[in-house]
Structure 1
Amino acid sequence: MATTYAWLWTLLAFVLTWIVFHVLKTKKAATEEAETEAEERRDGATDVIIVGAGIAGASLAYALAKDGRRVHVIERDLKEPQRFMGELMQAGGRFMLAQLGLEDCLEEIDAQEVKALAVYKDGKHATSPFPNDKRFPLEPVGRLLRNGRFVQRLRQKAASLTNVQLEEGTVKSLIEENGIVKGVTYKNSAGQEITAFAPLTVVCDGCYSNLRRSLVDNNTEEVLSYMVGYVTKNSRLEDPHSLHMIFSKPMLCVIYQITSDEVRCVAEIPADSIPSIANGDMSTYLKKTMAPQIPEHGKLRETFLKGIEEGLLEMKTTATKRMSSKMCDKRGVIVLGDAFNMRHPIIASGMLVALSDICILRNLLRPLANLGNTKKVSDLVKSFYIIRKPMSATVNTLASIFSQALVATTDEAREGMRQGCYTYLSRGDFGTTGMMTILGGMNPHPLTLVFHLVGITLTSMGHLLYPFPSPRRLWQSLRLLAWALQMLGFHLVDEGFKEMLIPTNAAAYRRTYMAKATA
């Protein structure tokens, strides 16, 4: 009996001790949290530091400032960017701009409406319009534009708010204390080294980000190929409202109207064989190898050749890159834009994903009166990685698979996939309509994309088996199926089986972020 009482008293003492310890620990954590918030309120003149003022940085600055945040944007070069990536704003991206109150930034830059995708292969061509989707609240029309002009409009809109400080400077490093990012060290335009503090730092300084390596482990970028681009001036295509995609060899060419009298010509080149622009090899390559494959239809070849000589001064090459989105575990900092997630530009949806991410992040942060509570912000950021998946996973998967499937090759199975993609995009049935809705960013639904990828695979196998399934054709179709499953399987693992295959995630995203504009 005495032993029993002793055990009971010991157990009671243990329970009481644990309760007291737990209560004290909770109070201490709450006190530290309150002290942190009070400290940030008292000392911080800035709520958010944004590194980079490109599409993502300028848009985020405006969105957060409209919510009353004090925003300090530090951009390495505030002159108009001269680049030829990010020149197509999909209809879905235009809708995201409207959600952020930034759609007027597409005005006064001579942007052109894009209403369709025109595809060309082996002397055949077809034009597939972006379809009307009753679930999409805007007209299914995108914009073709000069990227630099658009960026400048976004910067001007953000800087027009009194609580936005837009400054030219180069960020050298992040300031960390006890594993929490407190701000940045940067060199301003006068060469002075300055430290700036804020409870939240957002890194969106593009694909060449130097800060990414210190924030995300094992997040390496993969160079897939190179794009060479130039402008043909004083020209207008016969169909200026279509993005013209030529299934050329070894890789694609794209031609589109970026202003009322300028046409952009872009050719993709394998990463291991880039002709030199300086010594004229690039011009020779474009004239002799690529130009004969450009169709004469719609003044495409004429425009392509005219711009090679005229566009030498503006001719540039840029790498196409792929980089999976990886969570940043550090508190007090968020990574966005191309510094966070990249995909092949073949479906021109990088701006769409960035703007979608900003809408999500803005909505998550909006209820927080103060961003100094790094634990709460960190918890919200974890939600951000999940909520963004319907859009980002759809775009990343489609861009990666198209970039592989549309490369010309002597492999019979892969050529069958290339032909299947052309057929699926050009035949004008429900498959084409559904794929065009996804391409336009109007239906961010990974599972729906999977169904269409299965449809493309079956169409491609049908081409290989036609007119009758001989043993050789059957073998090639099975090889094609294995390759398609390999490509899809990679993204199911990379993006997450749950995020790709459970439709409730996409439905929740559509209800919240694809509803009628409220900004």
Structure 2
Amino acid sequence: MASQSHPHTADARREKSGRPHLHHGKFVQKLRSAARRTPNVTLLEATAKDILRDEASSEVLGLTVSADGYASNFRKRCTTRKPVVRSTSVALQLIDVKLSSPNHGYIIIGNNPLVLLYQIGTHETWICHIVAPDLPAQIQSALRKAIEAADQLPNMPNFFLSAQANDTPEMILLGDAMNMRHPLTGGGDDRASNDAYLLSHLLSPSIVPDLRVVYCDPRTF
């Protein structure tokens, strides 16, 4: 068995391009709060069921950005491709597990599929792709307690969807709505954040002074 660890403290993140490990719910809520405080943003919470189109031409009306995740309701409006389930991830939250290098992410390589561990809080460590025989003794003890305390093991299908050029004018797909990969390295978070960052620059006032009159062809991005 071998393990490789990667630091993910604030200082290490400034020095390297590694992603931070975080509580996603709190992170998303803070993003929403930041958006709500932006002067030129009107926040509406609702369920989008369809895309507004011109009745004559069927073209999308206005710029529509879809970032509705792996189960996107609007992906099929832009592509005929469908996500494929390649495997399933099982994960648990370990409490007060003793790691040789705190604030590091671990990839444990043994005789079975890779096991991923990363600290998400002062007391909490997330373990994904659980393979008990390949885990060090101190982690097995914490894992046993987590299994005994859990009603069921949380699991998530691992989807794969290769990226494809979007030819639908006025329609932009971001993050998992556009393409998906294995979650082992957290690439989905990185990609979604980078998509939003790039789009904010492409649609900045210096390039697009008035969004009300913009015609957006995704092929030009």
TM-score by shorter chain over 0.5: yes
Q: Which has the higher helix share?
A: 1
Residue 382 in structure 1 maps to residue 219 in structure 2: yes
Structure 2 unmatched runs, 5+: none
State the Cα distance separating 1:168 from its structure 2 match. Answer: 2.5
Q: Deviations over 1:134-181 (max 9, x none)?
A: xxx932264221111111111111112233232332111111112321
State the Cα distance separating 1:365 from its structure 2 match. Answer: 1.6
Paired residue secondary structure (2:125): strand
Q: Deviations over 1:202-236 (max 9, x none)?
A: 011000011111222x2211111011111123445
Counterpart residue identity of residue 361, structure 1? L
Cα distance in 1, alignment partners of residues 212 and 168 from structure 2 = 14
Contact 2:66 2:171 in 1 (8 A): yes
State the Cα distance separating 1:127 from its structure 2 match. Answer: 4.3
Identical residues among aligned pairs (%): 29
Paired residue secondary structure (2:133): helix
Deviates more, 1:365-374 or 1:219-228: 365-374
Cα distance in 2, alignment partners of residues 128 and 157 from structure 1 = 30
Counterpart residue identity of residue 14, structure 2? L
Would the alpha carbon gap of residues 248 and 358 (structure 1) be closer, same or farther in structure 2, given more than 3 Å must change?
A: same
Contact 1:181 1:332 in 2 (8 A): yes
Counterpart residue identity of residue 39, structure 2? T
Residue 139 in structure 1 maps to residue 15 in structure 2: yes
Residue 155 in structure 1 maps to residue 17 in structure 2: no
> Which residue number in structure 1 is paired with residue 90 of structure 2?
228
1:31-42 correspondence runs (5 A): none
Counterpart residue identity of residue 356, structure 1? N
Q: Normalising by the residue count of structure 2, what TM-score does the alignment of the two structures yield? A: 0.85
Cα distance in 2, alignment partners of residues 334 and 229 from structure 1 = 32
> Which residue number in structure 2 is paired with residue 210 of structure 1?
73
1:52-451 correspondence runs (5 A): 121=1, 124-127=2-5, 138-140=14-16, 142-177=19-54, 178-182=57-61, 199-216=62-79, 218-267=80-129, 290-296=131-137, 299-310=138-149, 312-313=150-151, 315-366=153-204, 367-375=207-215, 377-378=216-217, 381-384=218-221
Q: Deviations over 1:9-39 (max 9, x none)?
A: xxxxxxxxxxxxxxxxxxxxxxxxxxxxxxx
Contact 2:67 2:176 in 1 (8 A): yes
Contact 1:244 1:255 in 2 (8 A): yes
Contact 1:229 1:265 in 2 (8 A): yes
Contact 2:98 2:139 in 1 (8 A): no
Paired residue secondary structure (2:157): strand
Paired residue secondary structure (2:208): coil
Cα distance in 2, alignment partners of residues 374 and 331 from structure 1 = 11
Contact 1:231 1:307 in 2 (8 A): yes
Cα distance in 2, alignment partners of residues 362 and 259 from structure 1 = 30
Q: Normalising by the residue count of structure 1, what TM-score does the alignment of the two structures yield? A: 0.38
Count of aligned pairs: 212
State the Cα distance separating 1:374 from its structure 2 match. Answer: 4.9
State the Cα distance separating 1:314 from its structure 2 match. Answer: 7.1
Contact 2:95 2:124 in 1 (8 A): yes
Would the alpha carbon gap of residues 317 and 226 (structure 1) be closer, same or farther in structure 2, given more than 3 Å must change?
A: same
Would the alpha carbon gap of residues 341 and 173 (structure 1) be closer, same or farther in structure 2, given more than 3 Å must change?
A: same
> Which residue number in structure 2 is paired with residue 509 of structure 1?
none
Contact 2:94 2:146 in 1 (8 A): yes
Greater RCO (CA < 8 Å, at least 6 residues apart): 2
Contact 1:236 1:263 in 2 (8 A): no
Cα distance in 1, alignment partners of residues 45 and 91 from structure 2 = 28
Structure 1 unmatched runs, 5+: 1-120, 131-136, 183-198, 269-289, 385-519
Cα distance in 2, alignment partners of residues 128 and 261 from structure 1 = 18
